[in-house]
Structure 1
Amino acid sequence: MELLFGVIVFVVFIVVILIKTAIVVPQRHEYIVERLGKYRTTLEAGFHILVPFLDKIAYRRNLKELPVDIGGQTCITADNVTLEVDGIMYIQVVNSKQSAYGIDNYHFAASQLAQTSLRSAIGKISLDNTFEARETLNQQVVDAIDDAAQNWGIKVLRYEIKDIQPPRSVLDAMEKQMQAEREKRAEIARSEGDKQSVINRAEGQRSEAIAKSE
């Protein structure tokens, strides 16, 4: 009886060890394994067995393209107009080991650098150019992060400005300017119409006079 109990305990122990050490890494993921606190290897997708009591999964990395929301922030243009700007950044882990040991939190670091880079880029252009230069601003943010993130194990695929919100006073001024432009175009159109109408009447009268003289 004692022998049977001992066998059962041993079997349960083996099963627990296998559960703890048998690892299945999903597709498009990588796991960082440490042995006694030091980096040992990077596990790719598939089935793996760890050494009991020595190995542990220290970091889990998703290799898919990941969106990172960049919250609204205040930016000041070259002509001293304050804007509220938010965006979204798409990043991808390209080196799991570097992303684990190169920086503490690559999500936070990349988002902070994106905000800093965008403020700097907007500060060099005027308000009018800000709306026209979205693609240029997006690329400047990507380039700035890529330069700094070479040792972070990540790649910034793209950055997109979602919204640029000027102050209410600027919006009102822009609306008045647009209204004035519309009224100016309408006045020009009316003037051209009146001019053409006069020309048409004159030509009609001339044709009528010629017809009578004949």
Structure 2
Amino acid sequence: MDFNQLISELLGGNIVILLLAAFIILCIFLGVRIVPQSEQHVVERFGRLKSVLGPGINFIIPFLDRVAHKVSILERQLPNASQDAITSDNVLLQVETSVFYRVLEPEKTVYRIRDVDAAISTTVAGIVRAEMGKMELDEVQSNRNQLISEIQRMVESAVNDWGIEVTRAEILDVALDQATREAMLQQLNAERERRAQVTRAEGQKRDVELQADAELYAAEQDAKARRVLADAEAYATQVVAAAIADHGLAAAQYQVALKQVEAISAVAKGDGSQTIIVPADAVDAFGKAFQMLKGHT
């Protein structure tokens, strides 16, 4: 056999082996798919959905199957969106919203909707306008949590056919137009003034009540003092009566003489003239009083 012919046969056989090895390596490369934990891959066969590959090592048929879409299953946040809404009492609001979602069924997401972010944003805007139109301004401010829950529920129902789950919907801000803000500021100032007037009126009422309580207390104390004085006078009268009953007329004359002495002493202490007019029988009264005093001592 010619040497050149032998070399040619060897090279031809090696090329076939090399080509076969390359083909096997290519098949392995095309048939083995390693999917990351955060993704799912949508496989098509001749343009039609074949399967969805989950995280880990997966096998497909080379040249027949191909990975058409690589879909992230991580939670996503839509860009903050702002839309106008009108409440039932005709107040114009500018509502800023934020939505979080994640893909649960990639085959629905890639085959049923072209731009899922834009679709969700449009859906949220429509639902927000509809819900705001059912409520008055005060209800929007006081029932924000309830409104957020209702918006999330309705968004979830609307996007269910797209294979996604809305994990959270937030109303970040509710802004009023300038005219409404000024009107609310005037209302707030009026309410503050009303509360201040009520506070002042309550303070005045309290002052009157305290003054009345003080006057009542003073009257009660005066009445108590009068009762004590009356009790003392009654006791003195009882003592005199008992003395009269025990000693007869002498005790009565003694008390009368004491009163006369006290009256003359009071006249003598006055700021008027130092001349004292003494009744004709005053000497006798003094004498009797002194005698009685001596008798009692």
Whether TM exceeds 0.5 here: the answer is yes
Give the AA of the match of 2:159. Answer: A
Supply the distance in 2 between the matched residues of 1:13 and 1:165 (Cα, whole angstroms).
65
- Find 1:41's aligned residue among 51, 71, 87: 51
- Larger mean CA deviation between 46-55 and 103-112 belongs to 46-55
Q: Tell me, which stretches of 5 or more residues in structure 2 are unaligned?
A: 1-6, 226-297
* Residue of 63, 72, 88 corresponding to 2:73: 63
CA distance in 2, matches of 1:179, 1:24: 66
1:118 deviates by 0.8
What is the match of residue 144 of structure 1? 154
Q: How many residues align?
A: 214
Match of 1:26 in 2: 36
Partner of 1:75: 85
Tell me the distance in 1 between the aligned counterparts of 2:29 and 2:178.
Answer: 61
1:87-102 to 2 correspondences below 5 Å: 87-102=97-112
CA–CA separation in structure 1 for the residues paired with 2:216 and 2:146: 59
State whether structure 2 residue 161 is matched by structure 1 residue 174.
no
Task: Pick from 93, 96, 120 the counterpart of residue 130 of structure 2.
Answer: 120
Shift of 1:165: 0.2
Partners of 2:19 and 2:134 lie apart in 1 by 71
What amino acid is aligned across from residue 175 of structure 1 in structure 2?
Answer: L
Tell me the alpha carbon deviations over residues 60-89 of structure 1, each in whole angstroms, 9 at most, x when there is no partner.
Answer: 223333222341111112222211101111
CA distance in 2, matches of 1:21, 1:190: 86
Aligned partners of 1:168, 1:13: CA distance in 2, in Å? 72
| SS state at 2:43 partner | strand
Say which SS state the counterpart of residue 196 (structure 1) adopts.
helix
User: 1:173 corresponds to which letter in structure 2?
Assistant: A
* Secondary structure of 1:53 counterpart: coil
Which has the larger share of helix? 2
Q: Distance in 2 between matches of 1:9 and 1:198?
A: 111
Deviation at 1:8, TM superposition (A): 7.5
| Contact 1:35–1:54 (8 Å) recurs in 2 | yes
Q: Deviations over 1:27-50 (max 9, x none)?
A: 242110112211111000101244
Correspondence 1:160 to 2:170? yes
Give the structure, 1 or 2, with the largest relative contact order (CA under 8 Å, sep 6 or more).
Answer: 1
Contact 1:70 1:111 in 2 (8 A): no
**Alpha-carbon displacement from aligned partner over 1:117-161 (angstroms, at most 9, x marks no partner):** 111111222222221232333233223333332321112233211
Give the corresponding residue for 2:96: 86
How far apart, CA to CA, are the structure 1 residues paired with 2:24 and 2:92? 65
Q: CA RMSD in A?
A: 2.7
1:153 corresponds to which letter in structure 2? G
- Secondary structure of 1:151's counterpart equals helix
Determine helix, strand or coil for the equivalent of 2:169. strand
| Residue of structure 1 equivalent to 2:252 | none
Residue equivalent to 1:185: 195
State TM-score, norm by structure 2: 0.63
Q: Structure 2: which amino acid aligns with 1:96?
A: P
Report the Cα distance in structure 2 between the residues aligned to 1:15 and 1:168, rounded to whole angstroms: 70
Flag structure 1 segments of 5+ consecutive residues without an equivalent: none
Quick check: 20-29 or 87-96, which moved more? 20-29
Q: What is the one-letter code of the residue matched to 2:71?
A: R
Give runs of aligned pairs for residues 106-117 of structure 1, distance below 5 A.
106-117=116-127
Write out the 4+ residue segments of structure 1 that deviate beyond 4 Å after TM superposition. Answer: 5-21
The answer to which of 62-71 and 157-166 deviates more is 62-71
Per-residue deviation at 1:190? Answer: 1.4
The equivalent residue for 1:199 is: 209
Alpha-carbon distance between aligned partners in 1 of 2:18 and 2:214, rounded to the nearest angstrom: 114
